[in-house]
Amino acid sequence: MSKVVEGLLYSEDHEWVSIEGDIATVGITDYAQDELGEVVYVELPQENSDFESGEEVSEIESVKADSAVYCPVSGTVIETNSELEAKPELINQDCYKAWIFRMRLSSQPEDLLDAKAYSEFLKTLK
């Protein structure tokens, strides 16, 4: 059973988003890390680059597969979690702490799910 944390927002591409003011922090969900398996490399996005919601922003590589991270919101990358460069396995150990990047929002987030809706969505994937 995948862990879903209350108070975060979720995309159907299995990213989680935490929003404070106009800053969004983004990572991947427990379902995503479990599907991916042991993460061995995270390609972080360029700081100061702009992304629209739905664009490919980063790449996560595991022992067995690669997976694109789709930007769940629109805005400018202001910070990346450089700790993941040396320790990509943090994503497996605690995906809700191992954030990947932070963005300054250029518009209000759309089409994100709350914890309850995301849990329901996960059930449809079984």
| Site residues (vs another protein, CB under 8 A) | 37-38, 40-41, 43, 59, 61, 63-64, 66, 85
Residue nearer to another protein on the CB measure, 58 or 112: 58
Question: Is residue 96 within 8 Å of residue 27, measured between CB atoms?
Answer: yes
As measured in angstroms, the least distance from the Cβ of 68 to another protein is: 8
**CA proximity to 9, closest of 73, 100, 68, 80:** 73
Q: Which is nearer to another protein, 6 or 64 (CB)?
A: 64
Phi and psi of 84, rounded to 5°?
Answer: -70, -20
| Smallest gap from residue 47 Cβ to another protein (A) | 16
Q: Which is nearer to another protein, 38 or 52 (CB)?
A: 38
- Distance in angstroms (rounded) separating the CA atoms of residues 11 and 15: 5
Least Å distance, CB 54 to another protein, is: 17
Q: Return the CA Rg of the chain.
A: 13
